[in-house]
Structure 1
Amino acid sequence: MNAIDLFCGAGGFSAGFEDAGIDVRYGVDTDERALESFEANHEGTGILHDISEGVPSEIKDLDVDVVFGSPPCQGFSDARGSRRLDDERNQLVFSFIQWVAHFEPDYVMMENVAGMTTIGEAFLEAIEAEFAAAGYRVEWETLNAADFGVPQTRERVIYCGVREDLTVEPSLPTGTHSEGGGGQLTLEGERMQGWTTVSAALEDLPDPTEDGTVDLPPLSEFPDNEYLPLVRDGATTTENHTAKEPATDEDTRHIVDALEPGEMYRSSRFGDRYRQVWDLLAHRFSAVERDALHFIARHRTRKAYRMNGKSVGAVPDHLIAEGIDHDDDEVYEALERLHDDGWIRTDEEDGTLGYDLNTKSGIRPRYMRLEPDGQSNTIMTTDFNPRDKLHPTENRGLSLREGARIQSFPDTFVFEGRFDDVANQIGNAVPPLMAKRLGEHVLDIAGKKPPHPQ
Structure 2
Amino acid sequence: MGELFCGPGGIARGLDFAVEDLRKEGVEVDVEHTWANDYDAATARTYKANFPGAHVIHKDIRKLDIETELSDIDGFAFGFPCNDFSVVGEQKGIDGTFGPLYEYGARVVDRYSPKWFFAENVGGLRNSNDGVAFEMILDRLQEAGAPEYGGYTLYPHLYKFEEYGVPQRRHRIIIVGVRNDLEVDFRVPSPEPYSHIDNSVKTALSNIPADATHQELTRQNPTVVERLSHIKPGENAFTADLPAHLQLNVQGAKISQIYRRLQADKPSYTVTGSGGGGTHVYHYEENRALTNRERARIQTFPDDYIFEGKKEEVRKQIGMAVPVDGARVVFKALLSSLEGIEYPSVEPNLLRSVPPRREASASERSA
Give the structure-1-normalised TM-score: 0.66
**CA deviation after TM superposition for structure 1 residue 254, in Å:** 3.0
Confirm or deny that 1:264 pairs with 2:270: no
Q: Alpha-carbon deviations, 1:355-385, whole Å to 9, x = none? A: xx548xx944421111111111111013795
- Aligned-pair CA distance for 1:422: 0.3
CA distance in 1, matches of 2:207, 2:142: 48
Listed one character per residue, the Cα deviations across residues 302-345 of structure 1 (whole Å, up to 9, x for unaligned) are xxxxxxxxxxxxxxxxxxxxxxxxxxxxxxxxxxxxxxxx94xx
Change (3 A) 1:40 1:414: same
Gaps of 5+ in 1: 176-185, 206-214, 217-236, 267-273, 286-292, 294-341, 344-356, 450-454
- Tell me which residue corresponds to 1:196: 199
Shift of residue 66 of structure 1?
Answer: 0.6
User: Residue 142 of structure 1 corresponds to which residue in structure 2?
Assistant: 158
Q: CA deviation at 1:45?
A: 2.4
The superposition leaves residues 269-320 of structure 1 with CA deviations (integer Å, 9 ceiling, x where unpaired) of xxxxx21xxx4115x59xxxxxxx9xxxxxxxxxxxxxxxxxxxxxxxxxxx
Q: Does 1:46 align with 2:56?
A: yes
| Aligned residue pair count | 321
What residue number does 1:11 align with? 9
1:436 to partner: Cα distance: 1.1
Q: Which residue among 171, 177, 180 is the counterpart of 1:164?
A: 180
Q: What letter is aligned with 2:221?
A: A
Letter in 1 for 2:290: L
Q: Any residues of structure 2 matched to 1:18-167 within 5 Å, and which?
A: 18-21=16-19, 22-42=31-51, 43-56=53-66, 58-60=68-70, 62-119=71-128, 120-134=130-144, 135-167=151-183
Cα distance in 2 for partners of 1:123, 1:421 equals 30
1:174, CA displacement in angstroms?
2.1
Query: Conserved in 1, the CA contact under 8 Å of 2:86 and 2:122?
Result: yes
Task: Find the aligned partners of 2:159 and 2:76 in 1 and give their Cα distance.
Answer: 19
Structure 1 Cα separation of the partners of residues 284 and 112 of structure 2: 46
Check whether the contact 2:66–2:108 (CA below 8 A) recurs between aligned residues.
no
SS at match of 1:28: strand
Contact 2:123 2:158 in 1 (8 A): yes
- Structure 1 distance, partners of 2:315, 2:280, is 13
Q: What is the CA-CA distance between 1:388 and the residue it aligns to?
A: 4.2
Q: 2:214 aligns with which of 236, 240, 254?
A: 240
State the TM-score, normalizing by the size of structure 2. Answer: 0.81
**Corresponding residue number in structure 1 for 2:306:** 414
Amino acid at match of 2:231: L
2:7–2:47 CA contact under 8 A, matched in 1: yes
Aligned partner of residue 260 in structure 1, secondary structure: coil
Pair 1:387–1:53, CA change in 2 (3 A): closer
Q: How does 1:269-418 map to 2 (within 5 A)?
A: 274-275=239-240, 279-282=241-244, 284=245, 343=249, 357-358=250-251, 363-365=254-256, 366-382=258-274, 386=278, 388-418=280-310
Q: Distance in 2 between matches of 1:75 and 1:81?
A: 7
CA distance in 1, matches of 2:328, 2:97: 30
Distance 1:383 1:411, change over 3 A: farther
Q: Structure 1 residues 194 and 166, CA, compared in 2 at 3 Å: closer, same or farther?
A: same
**Residue 439, structure 1, aligned to residue 328, structure 2:** no
| Contact map agreement 1:244 1:386 (CA 8 A) in 2 | no
Q: Are the aligned partners of 2:120 and 2:172 in contact in 1 as well (CA < 8 Å)?
A: yes
Cα distance in 2 between the residues matched to 1:441 and 1:147:
15
1:145-175 CA-partner distances (Å, limit 9, x unpaired)? 1122210010000101011212113443222
Residue 81 of structure 1, CA deviation: 3.7
Return closer, same or farther for 1:448/1:168 CA change in 2, 3 Å cut-off: closer
Tell me how large the CA RMSD over aligned residues is.
2.4
Three-state SS of the structure 2 residue aligned to 1:440 is helix
SS at match of 1:34: helix
Identity across the alignment (%): 28
Tell me how far apart the structure 2 counterparts of residues 89 and 152 of structure 1 sit (CA, whole Å). Answer: 25
Whether the 8 Å CA contact 1:246–1:395 is kept in 2: the answer is no
Q: Secondary structure at the match of 2:33?
A: strand
Kept in 2: contact 1:11–1:27 (CA 8 A): no
CA distance in 2, matches of 1:427, 1:67: 22
Amino acid at match of 2:156: W
Matched-pair contact (CA < 8 Å) for 1:4–1:68: yes
